[in-house]
Structure 1
Amino acid sequence: MQIGVGSTLPAQNLNVFQTRRASFKCHKSPLNPSSHRPVSCVSSASSTESTRTREHLSNLEKVLQKTNQPEPERVVSNGSIETKGRGLLEGLNLSRIWPEMKAAEEMSPRHLNRLKRLLSKTMEYSPRNSLGSRWREYHGCNDWSGLLDPLDENLRREVVRYGEFVQAAYHGFHSNPAMSTNGAPLPRHVALPDRSYKVTKSLYATSSVGLPKWVDDVAPDLGWMTQRSSWIGYVAVCDDKREIHRMGRRDIVIALRGTATCLEWAENLRAQLVEIPGSDDPTQRVECGFLSLHKTRGSHVPSLAESVVEEVKRLMKKYKGENLSITITGHSLGAALSLLVADEVSSCAQDVPPVAVFSFGGPKVGNKGFVDRLNQKNVKVLRIVNNQDMITKVPVLPSVSIGAKSEQAEDNPWTYTHVGTELRVDTKMSPYLKPNVDVACCHDLEAYLHLVDGFLSSKCPFRSNAKRSLARLLHDQGSNVKQLYTHRALSLNIDKDRFSFPMASCLPSPSQ
């Protein structure tokens, strides 16, 4: 049975269709080269079957090449990502409009790749910008006014970088913590986080107290934990011309680690306030244990104060005539000693370069007299404080009672007072950490750097484009990381127990 055209079209459209049908041509198929010919031509074609086959395969190869073209190029323009070569709908960011699409995007392989990058060992730094004529501002000449809330991206980068100098001090100590009791220590290698700096001096701290001899007899395996003198940090100087030009000056860094030995812990507990040696003002007082570690000489090493002053004077003489800065950075005990070191070097010679302290998780060090002393010497201090870190709230001494009245004023010479400008972060604002993290995580240096890298402002505490790797945080504080991310790490075949973070001879420079 045949069905004519007239049986399927209305009568009023039949003439139009027949007229247009006469003008229809057979379109060329990309796979069949003979389809462009009319049927009558195909029957009378003189080309052989082998010729048609070769042409057919040639066209097939061209089609396959078109389907295997690379992904469209993604370029950054004015802070936004544009996609070239895609359709209109593909170029739109519809995840911002429909939450369902945003959730799907987070579960997409692209999101997993981003998480895998965050969990990798590779450090990704913020863009390197020239500090130029503003370096004094970033070094604290105006107490970082206008740079903290919201946190300036250049200042964030500098704070994280100085924190990594302290991490290098931790690694330098734990790689060889024991001290020789027979002579002066040998030079110590330190893997710096910035290859534009070089170490010029090792620093040692000595406790004025010692453990009874019977402790070594009972527990001989304690070893370096009971030694009086220990390597506590280093002095480094920027030695790269391009970095000096970028920063606007040659920077001298003094980095100090936190508490590690038994005697250092014992000194931390000596919380009584004592007068500063050589001070004309008896109301200027600092914590006894910190001052002991700062001023005490060892059997074969000078005191921390002597070593720092000697090295700073040498570097000032060597680079006389250049723009110099002295940056002192430390964590925990190192943060406390940083203030005493800053007090020492700021008056060790005439025309001392600007002195700034970047401290992480530091306790209170002295009273208001000590604060006034540092202010008079124009020492600038930026304290990075975690809201949940208990170490930043000690020492706490009982108030002094006079008659029936208790003196609580800050000018009380027996009351501890914090120094400098505060940058406050909060572990509860991190999307990766549990809200009930333990005390160790709140004080951990890597957790501090993670929070600083993510901090945007007090109104928006954690930025979505934070760049710092989560690998070390997962390794050091895995029990405090949300299970969502530990499970994702396992799903990405990332084993947090394999993260060992060996220190290379020199880590990549964050300025490159």
Structure 2
Amino acid sequence: MATKGMVPRPTINHTGFPTEVRSHSHPFGQVHLPKKTMTPKQSLVNFASVAAPSMGAAAASTSYDYNLACFWREIQGLNNWEDLVEPLHPLLRKEIIRYGEFVAACYKAFDLDPNSKRYLNCKYGRRSMLREIGMEDCGYQVTKYIYATPDIDIPIPNGESCGRWIGYVAVASDDAVRRLGRRDIMITFRGTVTNPEWITNLMSSLTPARLDPYDPRLDVKVEAGFLSLYTSDENDKFGLGSCRQQLLSEVSRLLKEYKGEDVTITLAGHSMGSSLAVLLAYDIAELGLNRKEMDGEIPVTVFSFGGPRVGNSAFKERCEDLGVKVLRIVNVNDPITKLPGVFFNEKFKVLGGKFELPWSCSCYAHVGVEIVLDFFNMQNPSCVHDLQTYIGLLKCRKIARMQKDGDRVDFLDRASELFLSAHNINMFPWIEVASNMVNMFQSQRT
């Protein structure tokens, strides 16, 4: 069993907030997009002014729904989030937070009590899960739970192979469709918790993905551990099938059920879960499940929180060619976002990038557009990877502005009030992952 521990809440006095949210966009390859008549910055209504504090909550919510219903394609990455990440557009910010909270639901509902009959599974039934964790008004209905087990040969005490609950599939209700402007099929994944999952994360060798049986594309390689977790058939003994089989079957079923509607496929995950989200997005696009019978494709978008690299440069290029959109939210102090490929990655160049070494194709590469946060807590180093801290920072528009104005005393008071407010953030402890995260972080600093 993994060592259990309680992660203390971050002390706000020791947390550094950015004066602004920085973004780094990685150029997409041969992605052919419709010709724009105006930029998103010109077309999107200034949501910040619409939802000003002087406006009532109901009016602000109505305006938010109207904007999202009109411009959901840009928010889903139609133009690679051009002009939306620097500065971070309020409408995009709210959508990132919304999907982040759906991922946080995985942790809140995950049963870590070894004495429980539902140990390492969801505490609640599929129909009641969102209601039980306080998200009954989220506008989504859970349609399937997803289970995954890594295929590893290393004996682990109390780590026998069995289906672990890894996330869920949900679909927007009819009422939510009117607000969102489309039928959203959402898949969310939690991060690493169990010992077998931590060992899977350390299997950092690259291996061909081979997800398309008709075109294996041996040059497209991904991290072996993530691929094992995604494709392992260890769950067959429980009648579940692999994580991949469960997901592709449910996505195909929902696409058939909502055929003829405007549909999006949105994947969101934290840490290891973001890797599974990227793998699934690539798999869906590579198999062509998102292709419409006539013309066009159903948008496939990933919101990644604190995610590691998934594959090599060929994998990155293939995702771009297929039109997979990935928005990565990272903390510059989070070591997980720098793994695997700490030294040999997309930034590794020889002689100013003029020459490539024979092993350049084996370098890991991040996929997509990046939004960078900057926070650290000396008293609680593991907070650099904590999902709730990520979400809390994204909610701190006023904090960033106050720090920029140099009002430090007022900044600390307001920051403490904001972070401790149950309305803005509901911090919950990581149990098994805490000590692992601290050890990993300290090893990266030495």
TM bin, normalised by shorter chain, reads 0.5 to 0.7
Specify the code of the residue in structure 1 equivalent to 2:202: L
Q: 2:217, 2:399 → 1: CA distance?
A: 40
Contact 1:210 1:228 in 2 (8 A): no
Partner of 1:292: 228
Query: Structure 1, residues 419-450: CA drift from partner, whole Å, max 9, x if none?
Result: 0000111116xxxxx5x354310000000001
Contact 2:230 2:244 in 1 (8 A): yes
Partner of 1:319: 258
Q: 2:393, 2:71 → 1: CA distance?
A: 25
Contact 1:336 1:364 in 2 (8 A): yes
Contact 1:455 1:461 in 2 (8 A): no
Out of 322, 333, 338, the position equivalent to 1:377 is: 322
Query: Structure 1, residues 383-429: CA drift from partner, whole Å, max 9, x if none?
Result: 0001111110011266599xxxx98769812101110000111116x
Partner of 1:360: 305
Residues 249 and 399 of structure 1, relative CA distance in 2, 3 Å threshold: closer
Residues 79 and 191 of structure 1, relative CA distance in 2, 3 Å threshold: closer
* DSSP 3-state at the match of 1:369: helix
Residues 240 and 469 of structure 1, relative CA distance in 2, 3 Å threshold: farther
Q: 1:195: how far off?
A: 3.3
Q: 1:293: how far off?
A: 0.2
Scaled by the length of structure 2, the TM-score of the pair is: 0.67
Q: 1:240: how far off?
A: 3.1
Residues 281 and 338 of structure 1, relative CA distance in 2, 3 Å threshold: same
Specify the code of the residue in structure 1 equivalent to 2:229: L
Share of identical aligned residues, percent? 37
Partner of 1:132: 69
Specify the code of the residue in structure 2 equivalent to 1:135: W
Q: Does 1:144 align with 2:86?
A: no
Alignment of 1:12-411 (within 5 A): 79=52, 128-130=64-66, 131-174=68-111, 188=126, 189-191=128-130, 193=135, 194-212=137-155, 216=157, 222=158, 226-241=160-175, 243-277=176-210, 278=212, 279-297=215-233, 298=235, 299-300=237-238, 301-346=240-285, 347-349=287-289, 350-351=291-292, 353-396=298-341
Q: 1:227: how far off?
A: 3.8
Query: Structure 1, residues 67-102: CA drift from partner, whole Å, max 9, x if none?
Result: xxxxxxxxx9995769xxxxxxxxxxxxxxxxxxxx
Specify the code of the residue in structure 1 equivalent to 2:302: V
Residues 411 and 144 of structure 1, relative CA distance in 2, 3 Å threshold: farther
Specify the code of the residue in structure 1 equivalent to 2:243: L
Residues 207 and 136 of structure 1, relative CA distance in 2, 3 Å threshold: same
Partner of 1:421: 369
Query: Structure 1, residues 426-479: CA drift from partner, whole Å, max 9, x if none?
Result: 116xxxxx5x3543100000000011112589988889899965356685489x
Specify the code of the residue in structure 1 equivalent to 2:420: L
Which has the greater radius of gyration? 1
Partner of 2:384: 442
Q: 1:418, 1:330 → 2: CA distance?
A: 15
Contact 1:389 1:439 in 2 (8 A): no
Q: 1:373: how far off?
A: 1.1
Query: Structure 1, residues 317-371: CA drift from partner, whole Å, max 9, x if none?
Result: 1111110001000000001111001111223423252100000000011111000
Q: 1:391, 1:328 → 2: CA distance?
A: 19
* DSSP 3-state at the match of 2:64: coil
Contact 2:192 2:272 in 1 (8 A): yes
Q: 1:152: how far off?
A: 1.1
Q: 1:397, 1:426 → 2: CA distance?
A: 19
Specify the code of the residue in structure 2 equivalent to 1:237: V
* DSSP 3-state at the match of 1:328: strand
Alignment of 1:449-468 (within 5 A): 449-455=391-397
Q: Any unmatched runs of 5+ in structure 1?
A: 1-75, 83-123, 217-221, 429-433, 479-512
Alignment root-mean-square deviation, CA: 3.8
Specify the code of the residue in structure 1 equivalent to 2:79: N
Equivalent residue pairs, number:
339
Specify the code of the residue in structure 1 equivalent to 2:65: N
Residues 236 and 78 of structure 1, relative CA distance in 2, 3 Å threshold: closer
